[in-house]
Amino acid sequence: MVKIAISGKGGVGKTTLAAMLAYLFAKDGYSVTAIDCDSSINLPTVLGIKEDVRPMSELGEVIEERVKGPLGTFKYNPKVDDIFEEYSKKNEFGIRVLALGTIEKGGEGCFCPQNAFLRAILRHAIFREKDVLLLDMEAGIEHLGRGTAKGVDLLIAVVEPGMRSVETLKRIEKLAADLGIRKIGVVINKFIESESTKKLLERIDKEILGKIPYNQCFIRADLENIPPYKLECEIGAFEEIKNRIVELIGGV
Ligand SMILES: Nc1ncnc2c1ncn2[C@@H]1O[C@H](COP(=O)(O)OP(=O)(O)OP(=O)(O)O)[C@@H](O)[C@H]1O
Ligand SMILES: [Mg+2]
């Protein structure tokens, strides 16, 4: 079992990468759960799910009721299995998708009910050896400070060639280290070969898991609302990234 969080600046391709990896892992026989941690939910659509996936934030007070123990304590293991079933949808490849919605995730180390509930959901999502959990994080890096990605095995930072992305990467590295995430990999998306992109890449000192070229195919998939794997957009590049992840994690 492996937990992977996908992070990066807005619009760099986090959701695209999450969907492609989910598809490729599922194709290899892994049982895949993907959680959309962005308050504007779009991962289910990119994975070809037509029905609405209800955000878990809808649960509101139910969360508190489930999590609260006697005398103001929190239960370590609140009941979440029914919610997991009700709030997740499977796509045609058996990929299970959940959405957080705008859950107040609280600060790091915060023992608020939402955090306890979220951790219980994450624990519940992972129980077999050949399971992969993918977290499509919200844009920016603030969420890292809130601890949603705590306990992930690998944090993938998606960057577009550009100084702003590389600077964001430095901040991601620092926050990830604070959270105790040891493995960080970088995916360069919307890559266009040039002298200046080459120089920029030299400034990245983390492992580059792969480069995905800029390709109109993704724009077409988005416009026509087709999952990008159905159009096989740069599928070879994603396959290599997936293989590298498996190597890095030491087999899943
Ligand atoms: N390699 C690529 N080449 C061209 N366009 C791409 C590429 N990858 C993604 N895109 C397009 O860029 C847009 C943003 O992608 P995506 O939604 O995956 O980014 P995101 O990081 O999840 O964004 P957000 O921060 O809004 O959640 C989409 O229209 C997508 O089709
Ligand atoms: Mg997204």
What is the full DSSP assignment across 118-137? HHHHHHHH--STTEEEEEEP
Pairing status of strand 89-90 against strand 96-99: antiparallel
State the CB neighbour count (10 A cutoff) for residue 151: 14
pTM, full prediction? 0.92
For residues 161-186, one letter each, b for 16 or more C-beta atoms within 10 angstroms of the residue's C-beta and e for the rest, the string is beeebbebbeebbebbeebebebbbb
What's the token pair of residue 72?
């103001």
Model confidence at 143, pLDDT cuts 50, 70, 90, reads: low
Judged against a pLDDT cut of 70, whether residue 107 lies above it is answered with: no
76 Cα to the center of ligand 2, angstroms: 30
Find out whether 137 and 5 touch, Cβ atoms under 8 Å. Answer: yes
% of the chain exceeding 70 in pLDDT: 92
Q: How far is the CA of 43 from the centre of ligand 2 (A)?
A: 7
Question: What domains appear along the chain, each with residue ranges and CATH number?
Answer: 2-249 (3.40.50.300)
Residue 108 CA to residue 144 CA, distance in Å, equals 9
Q: Is residue 69's pLDDT more than 90?
A: no
Q: What pLDDT, on the 0 to 100 scale, is given for residue 94?
A: 96
Q: Which atom of ligand 1 is nearest to the CA of 212?
A: 1
How far, CA to CA in Å, does 84 sit from each of 54, 124, 126, 191?
Answer: 11, 8, 12, 37
Nearest CA residue ID for atom 18, ligand 1: 13
User: What is the pLDDT at residue 108?
Assistant: 52
Pull the structure tokens for residue 90: 């499977």
Distance CA 250, CA 252 (A): 7
Residue of the nearest CA to atom 16 in ligand 1?
13
Nearest to 147 by CA among 75, 41, 155, 16: 155
Looking at ligand 1, which residue's alpha carbon is closest to its atom 9?
A: 13
Q: Report how far ligand 2's centroid is from the alpha carbon of 8 (Å).
A: 9
CA–centroid distance, 10 to ligand 1, in Å, is: 9
- Residue type for position 159: V
Relative to beta strand 207-213, strand 96-99 is unpaired
pLDDT tops 80 at residue 35: yes
Say whether pLDDT at 49 is over 90. yes
Q: What CA–CA distance (Å, rounded) separates 204 from 44?
A: 32
Whether 225 shows a pLDDT value over 90: the answer reads: yes
Ligand 1 pocket test: which of 6, 9, 16 has the largest number of ligand atoms within 8 Å of its C-beta?
16
Q: What is the pLDDT of residues 153-212, one digit of tens each?
A: 999 999 998 888 888 888 888 888 888 888 999 999 999 999 989 888 888 989 999 999
Percent of the chain with pLDDT strictly greater than 90: 50
CA–CA–CA angle 96, 59, 6 (5° rounding) = 45
Contact 40, 158 (CB under 8 A): no
Handedness of CA 91, 93, 96, 102 (dihedral sign): negative
Confidence of residue 251 (pLDDT cuts 50, 70, 90): low
As a whole number, mean pLDDT of residues 79-96 equals 92
Site residues for ligand 1, CB cut-off 6 Å: 8, 10-16, 38, 139, 189-190, 212, 214-215, 218-219, 222
Average pLDDT in the 39-67 region?
90
- CA distances to 207, 237, 252 from 247, rounded to whole Å, are 13, 16, 9
Q: Is 131's pLDDT higher than 80?
A: yes
If you take atom 23 of ligand 1, which residue's CA is the nearest one? 11
Ligand 1 pocket: which of 218, 230, 235, 241 to mutate (most atoms within 8 A of CB): 218
pLDDT at 145: 63
| Structure tokens belonging to residue 228 | 């990008």
**Ligand 1 centroid to residue 219 C-alpha, Å:** 8
